[in-house]
Amino acid sequence: GSGGAPPPPAAKGVPLTAKDLEQKVELLALDKQAEMETLTQLAHTRKAEAEAKRAREIEAKKAQKIAQRELEEQRRANAVGQHSKMLQQSQELLDGARVRIASDEAAGELAAALEENATAQEEERVVLQAIFGEEACVIGSDENSVVDGMTLPNGAVRLLVNGVNSKKAEMQVVLQLEMPAEYPSHLPPTLRIVSGVADGAERSFISSSLTVLFFEQSLGTCVVHLWEEWVREEWMAIQV
């Protein structure tokens, strides 16, 4: 015989939870056989509940992975579209600049512009080294300048861009810039990404973006410090 009233019967068809069974164990404490049966049932129920919870967690993780993959694919598709658009825009701007160069040359106005460019370039090199320091900004001094085992043409600029990505991890991109005679009056510097950007499509995107930046914000004025800022604040900051 059991001491105390038996627990209320569970509604038919509604399985007991682990908590219900724990209460039943307390009420049946004096009835050893009933207690053992209930404990066994409790163990099975706990196991089933744990397995069901684990199955739900696995399904949730699977769903999360699928959603992440879909988001990543969407991002990639957007990036490809953005890269293609930027490449086309930069090419159109460069084509337009070459037409202007030919037109100015025909009008006899190019020589004066090139003379002003030479002065502006010399000033820009001095300013860049003052801003970034001689270690981060190296200027090619003659045809045989070698920096990090690579030739740096006379007047070319090797610039170290240091920043952090979206996870605050440090990054470094090394740019090499050559200034054509038509810079900054008509054309941007010629850019080469020496290191820090492994993906070819990404290098092309950076180059196109900087070309567009020159034509939209800096045509006729020196642009290298703005390029360094863009790589650091616009490109690096969103990398993962």
What's the confidence (pLDDT) of residue 35? 76
What's the confidence (pLDDT) of residue 10? 56
Which residue(s) pair with 172 in the sheet? Answer: 162
What's the confidence (pLDDT) of residue 168? 93
User: Model confidence over 36-78: pLDDT tens digits?
Assistant: 888 889 999 999 999 999 999 999 999 889 888 887 777 777 7
User: Model confidence over 156-192: pLDDT tens digits?
Assistant: 999 999 999 999 999 999 999 999 999 999 999 999 9
Contacts of 147 (CB under 8 A, 6+ apart): 138, 140, 158
Report the C-alpha gap between 157 and 183 in whole angstroms.
14
Band (pLDDT 50/70/90 cuts) for residue 201 is: confident
What's the confidence (pLDDT) of residue 6? 62
- Mean of pLDDT values over 134-156: 83
Q: Does 29 have pLDDT greater than 60?
A: yes
Band (pLDDT 50/70/90 cuts) for residue 210 is: very high
Q: Does 134 have pLDDT greater than 60?
A: yes
190 backbone dihedrals φ, ψ, rounded to 5°: -85, 125
Contact criterion met (CB below 8 Å) for 166 and 237 = yes
What's the confidence (pLDDT) of residue 3? 54
User: Model confidence over 72-120: pLDDT tens digits?
Assistant: 777 777 777 788 899 999 999 999 999 999 999 999 999 999 999 999 9
Return the SS3 of 201: helix
Residue that the structure tokens 């300013």 belong to: 127
- Mean of pLDDT values over 137-161: 84
What's the confidence (pLDDT) of residue 8? 61
Element (H, E) at 157: strand 157-164
Enter the tokens of residue 202: 């990404």
